[in-house]
């Protein structure tokens, strides 16, 4: 079996990046022919030229404009990008303590297809499988999960494979009113010969990941990482990234 090279960007705020990084690397280790480099930002654009796929688990980490151009070239020539959880997030804290997710990087959000705007408190919600007989969702039925329900704005054409629904307010966020939202959970965005698979699930936070707000976060959060269906989604996502799906 031929070697496949991959690049993994894992970094950001308010999440247990160490946990997510390790879990994804363990799943990659199930494929002995995949060799992965790991980074904390998008700076090593030369590495993309050597890779079949990119993985990101980030929060409030944005590529620079020249890095966005490199990412687009990577995708258009056939590269695949498995984007996880907060990859499409920008967070700014207001004077009154709310979270703003401003439209500062339309280039990034158009590339990704969505921009994160808010989430309600962590709670159970139902994930609806809309992908029918798609290999990424085949055999997976609707399921309940406890996680951050990501509410996003769509910025480019996407193919939604899983979704959820929310109606209400997200009081901690500037974008607070969501009267009747349908939120993508798993979607594809095609670009040239390649594309993006975005999975919004997978929040995690440990004791020491909110030090800007509290020195010790009492209750670690693992959310979708507690569910076998999430690991199945990740395994299929990696197979998609390798070109097997």
Do residues 24 and 10 lie in contact, with contact meaning Cβ atoms separated by under 8 Å? yes
- DSSP secondary structure string for all residues of 218-239: SS-B-GGGG-HHHHHHHHHHHH
List, for residues 106-132, the tens digit of each pLDDT value. 999 999 999 999 999 999 999 999 998
- In CATH, the number for domain 4-242 is 3.40.50.880
Tokens matching residue 213: 């707000």
Q: Is 172 helix (H, G, I), strand (E, B) or coil?
A: coil
First to last CA, the chain: 17
pTM: 0.97
Average predicted confidence (pLDDT) for the chain? 97
pLDDT tens-digit profile of 52-62? 999 999 999 99
Q: How many CB atoms lie within 10 A of CB 28?
A: 20
pLDDT digits (tens, 9 = 90+) for 172-206: 999 999 999 999 999 999 999 999 999 999 999 98
The Cα 51–Cα 84 span in angstroms is 18
Percentage with pLDDT > 70 across the chain: 100
Question: Is 211 a residue whose pLDDT tops 80?
Answer: no
61 vs 1 pLDDT, higher one: 61
**How sure is the predictor about 244, in pLDDT bands with cuts at 50, 70 and 90?**
very high
pLDDT of residue 132: 85
pLDDT of residue 213: 76
Task: Give the bridge partners for 143, in sequence order.
Answer: 127
- What is the per-residue pLDDT for 216? 87
* Residue 6: per-residue pLDDT: 98
The CA distance from 213 to 27, in Å, is 32
């Amino acid at each position: 079996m031929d070697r496949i090279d991959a690049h993994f960007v894992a970094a950001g705020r308010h999440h247990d990046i160490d946990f997510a990084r390790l879990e994804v690397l363990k799943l990659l280790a199930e494929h002995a022919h995949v060799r992965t480099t790991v980074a904390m930002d998008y700076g090593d654009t030369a590495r993309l030229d050597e890779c079949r796929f990119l993985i990101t688990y980030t929060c409030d980490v944005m590529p620079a404009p020249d890095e966005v151009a490199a990412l687009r070239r990577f995708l258009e020539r056939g590269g695949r990008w498995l984007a996880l959880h907060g990859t499409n997030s920008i967070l700014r804290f207001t004077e009154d303590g709310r979270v703003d997710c401003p439209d500062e990087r339309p280039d990034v959000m158009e590339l990704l297809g969505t921009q994160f705007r808010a989430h309600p408190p962590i709670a159970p919600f139902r994930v609806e499988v809309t992908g029918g007989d798609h290999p990424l969702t085949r055999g997976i039925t609707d399921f309940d999960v406890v996680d951050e329900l990501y509410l996003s704005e769509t910025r480019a054409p996407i193919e939604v494979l899983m979704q959820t629904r929310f109606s209400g307010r997200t009081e901690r966020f500037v974008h607070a009113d969501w009267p009747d939202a349908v939120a993508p959970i798993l979607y594809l965005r095609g670009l040239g010969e390649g594309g993006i698979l975005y999975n919004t699930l997978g929040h995690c936070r440990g004791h020491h990941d909110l030090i800007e707000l509290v020195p010790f976060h009492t209750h670690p959060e693992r959310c979708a990482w507690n569910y076998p269906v999430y690991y199945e989604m990740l395994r299929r996502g990696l197979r998609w990234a390798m070109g097997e799906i």
